[in-house]
Amino acid sequence: MDTIEIRGVEIGGLRLDMPSEQQLSALAQAWDDDANHQLCFLDTGAFLLARCPGEYSSMIRSADLVLSKSGGLSARVAKEVSGILASGKSLPVRKVTIGIRRREYLGYFGPPEESKEVTIRYKPVSVLSIILSALEERRGSVFLIGGTETCLAKAEGNLRATFPALRIVGRSGGSFVGKESLVLQALQKASPDLVLIGSMVKDGELWIPRTMRSTRSGIFLYESSIIETLAGPGGK
């Protein structure tokens, strides 16, 4: 077995994935394969934007995982899932190929079982926690980008306290206009397993596809308020 089978549905021409927690954990461990991987979260507004031709749509369509994070969009996903199952069909499955070096992680779980419930709505901070826990198991690394320096320092401190074996190999506030080359150099040197991007980055989530080719392998995850969330109350 050299693939992970992820359930998903297509709505309005866009793929929405429904990985289990075990699959998210296995992917986070297995994506140490000299390639870049992007994980995207969609709410209803982002979903509508992604349906229109353009750079944002291209990014979403090429992302490794696309997850629904809002109630409105998740309701549409749930309706689609119910319709498929009511017709007696199985949910569509997408096979994600795993690099030969990390295939041992596929033993964490078996093929998806139709009798089990599927996750439809994903909280970004919960998904991040799964990824960080998986990375910590192999002493993986993370690079933080976004927010103010004060907020960033608090977020880093909280991550170190919660995931003591996780290596934080670099950080940059979100307002780095004119210093982007230095940030990219730092990313190249650190070669983190996860690049976590939050607020104040000029291009927002589009910064990822615009710069990802300039970096080495890693998982890229953007959520506008994630640095502030990690910093906790008052961490602005």
What are the pLDDT digits (tens) for 190-230?
999 999 999 999 999 999 999 988 777 789 999 999 999 99
The enclosing H or E element of 180 equals helix 180-190
Contact 7, 91 (CB under 8 A): yes
Four-way CATH pick for 138-236: 3.65.10.10, 1.10.579.10, 3.40.50.300, 3.40.50.2300? 3.40.50.2300
| pLDDT value of residue 235 | 61
Model confidence at 114, pLDDT cuts 50, 70, 90, reads very low
| pLDDT value of residue 100 | 60
| pLDDT value of residue 29 | 86
| pLDDT value of residue 115 | 46
| pLDDT value of residue 31 | 86
Instruction: Report the 3 state secondary structure along 133-183.
Output: HHHHHCCCEEEEECCCHHHHHHHHHHHHHHCCCCEEEEEECCCCCCCHHHH
Domain map of the chain by residue range?
1-122, 138-236
The enclosing H or E element of 221 equals strand 218-222
